[in-house]
Amino acid sequence: MNLSRISIAGGGIGGLSAALALQHFGYRVAVFEQASELREVGAGVIITPNAMHALNFLGVGERIANEAGPGEALATRHFQTGEILKLRAAGTDYAERYGATYHQVHRVDLHTALASAVRRNDPDCVFLGHRFEALTQDSEKVAARFANGKIYTSDILIGCDGNASKVRESVFGEETVNYTGQVAFRALLPMASVPPSIQERPFAMFVGANRYFLHYPLRRRTVMNLIGVGREPRWQEEGWRIPAPVEEFENLYNDLYPPALQLIRAISPGTLFKWGLRDREPLRQYSKGRVTMLGDAAHPMTPFLGQGACIAIEDAMVLGRAFDAANRIEEALLMYENTRKERANGVQLASRRQADEIQGVTTKGANPGKDALERGLYSYNPVTVPLAGGIQFDPE
């Protein structure tokens, strides 16, 4: 297709992956990011084989894997006693099963690898300090207006502006948002502050009634990433950068297996963040006219499957392939949506269900559907998955 430019609102993991995939297939993109610099929150993200396929294809997988180190085996442990209930294979074993590895990655490293690759392709394609506000479209173009007063016109606009997407609101209107009654905490610790017994099993999830606590190492075991998710009936804000006092985390988790509780106690003041988990219904359609949605903007999901970033990367890969395969914009957008919607909305709903599964598991053998669910998640390959038809026939 002969397009002059594709605009992307949001320069997070989804937006940059989409930019890279479209550039790979020869398209010119412009990424509009609201922040004054391209940055990510200091936290971990687990990149599973389904997303690694795309990162490898786009030429950034090796860098990300090298910086992260091999994916660790996961121990599921009893919340209070620390007993190991289950062991899952390490990331390298996944290469045999799924054709790609998995890794525990520092979000900053993933984001930086994507941003460098995008800018290497086109040094001037990222526009910082551009907060998307509104759009208008007709049969030939879409015009996006930004908070700084600028207006940019392009052939297509892709909304990659996260959970509370303004592009989604502009296209589909306001929606109902439910607070899940759960709050998440995150922090990073230098490995020197981690008790040796925890370092021996560096990737573990402590599961208890109504709570879980997860830790895994980043950057070749030099940093430990901590996440806790528990019930908190009072309303909590959604942002990922809300500072929290360490005592709040400690008080909610004071019956945690003592060596793991030491991790929480070792968090330096000012380095703990929390956010309230909100839930939204899946979108019935991703695209309208010349605008489509990708990543959390298309399918905002709770974190209980740890798949939000991976599904955004899958979206990006399929979007690029659809633009490569189609002859017209409408066809490309339909092909993208038809290939992705069932999968991504399905993961969004499965993630919601997983909250109760994870937080109810305290005994051996519980959560039996998890292995099948993981196989379904990890065996998807966005580089080779057949593209669903993109031609819509008018009903007679």
Ligand X SMILES: Cc1cc2nc3c(=O)[nH]c(=O)nc-3n(C[C@H](O)[C@H](O)[C@H](O)COP(=O)(O)OP(=O)(O)OC[C@H]3O[C@@H](n4cnc5c(N)ncnc54)[C@H](O)[C@@H]3O)c2cc1C
The two tokens of residue 10 are 């949001």
Phi and psi at 274, nearest 5°, equal: -140, 160
Residue (260 or 309) nearer to ligand X, CB: 309
Residue (91 or 295) nearer to ligand X, CB: 295
Residue (83 or 248) nearer to ligand X, CB: 248
314 belongs to the binding site for ligand X (CB under 6 A): no
306 belongs to the binding site for ligand X (CB under 6 A): yes
373 belongs to the binding site for ligand X (CB under 6 A): no
Query: Is 189 in a helix, a strand, or coil?
Result: strand
Residue (10 or 82) nearer to ligand X, CB: 10
309 belongs to the binding site for ligand X (CB under 6 A): yes
CA–CA separation, 270 and 245 (whole Å): 7
Taking residue 308's Cβ as centre, other Cβ atoms within 10 Å add up to: 23
Q: By CB under 6 A, what part of segment 13-52 binds ligand X? A: 13-15, 32-35, 43, 45-46
CA–CA separation, 352 and 307 (whole Å): 12
Taking residue 334's Cβ as centre, other Cβ atoms within 10 Å add up to: 22
- Environment class of residue 241 by beta-carbon count within 10 Å: exposed (0-12), middle (13-18) or buried (19+)? exposed
Rg (CA), the chain: 21
- The distance of closest approach from Cβ of residue 10 to ligand X in the complex, given in angstroms and rounded to an integer, is 3
Q: Give the residue from 26, 34, 33, 35 showing the smallest Cα distance to 5.
A: 26
CA–CA separation, 208 and 278 (whole Å): 21
- The distance of closest approach from Cβ of residue 159 to ligand X in the complex, given in angstroms and rounded to an integer, is 9
Binding mask 231-270 for ligand X (x = CB under 6 A): ---------x------------------------------
Query: Which residue in 6, 8, 9, 214 binds ligand X (CB under 6 A)?
Result: 9
166 belongs to the binding site for ligand X (CB under 6 A): yes
- Environment class of residue 302 by beta-carbon count within 10 Å: exposed (0-12), middle (13-18) or buried (19+)? buried
189 belongs to the binding site for ligand X (CB under 6 A): no
186 belongs to the binding site for ligand X (CB under 6 A): yes
- The distance of closest approach from Cβ of residue 34 to ligand X in the complex, given in angstroms and rounded to an integer, is 4
Phi and psi at 299, nearest 5°, equal: -145, 75
Query: Is 244 in a helix, a strand, or coil?
Result: coil
Phi and psi at 147, nearest 5°, equal: -60, -25
Q: Which stretch binds ligand X (CB under 6 A): 54-62, 91-99, 161-169, 359-367?
A: 161-169
- The distance of closest approach from Cβ of residue 184 to ligand X in the complex, given in angstroms and rounded to an integer, is 7
CA–CA separation, 329 and 39 (whole Å): 31
366 belongs to the binding site for ligand X (CB under 6 A): no
Q: Which stretch binds ligand X (CB under 6 A): 71-79, 169-177, 289-297, 359-367?
A: 289-297
Size of the site for ligand X (CB under 6 A): 32
345 belongs to the binding site for ligand X (CB under 6 A): no
Residue (35 or 177) nearer to ligand X, CB: 35
Query: Which residue in 57, 98, 102, 132 binds ligand X (CB under 6 A)?
Result: 132
Q: Which stretch binds ligand X (CB under 6 A): 75-83, 85-93, 294-302, 379-387?
A: 294-302
162 belongs to the binding site for ligand X (CB under 6 A): yes
- The distance of closest approach from Cβ of residue 132 to ligand X in the complex, given in angstroms and rounded to an integer, is 4
DSSP assignment string, 353-378: HHHHHHHH--STT--TTHHHHHHHHH
Kindly give the pairing relationship between strand 178-190 and strand 44-47: unpaired
Residues 6+ apart with CB under 8 A from 376: none
Residue (272 or 310) nearer to ligand X, CB: 310
Query: Which residue in 276, 308, 320, 390 binds ligand X (CB under 6 A)?
Result: 308
Residue (39 or 86) nearer to ligand X, CB: 39
Phi and psi at 216, nearest 5°, equal: -155, 155
Q: Which stretch binds ligand X (CB under 6 A): 157-165, 256-264, 278-286, 334-342?
A: 157-165
Q: Mutual orientation of helices 107-121 and 13-24 as an angle, nearest 10°?
A: 30
DSSP 163: T
352 belongs to the binding site for ligand X (CB under 6 A): no
Site residues (vs ligand X, CB under 6 A): 9-15, 32-35, 43, 45-46, 131-132, 160-162, 166, 186, 240, 295-297, 303, 306-310, 312
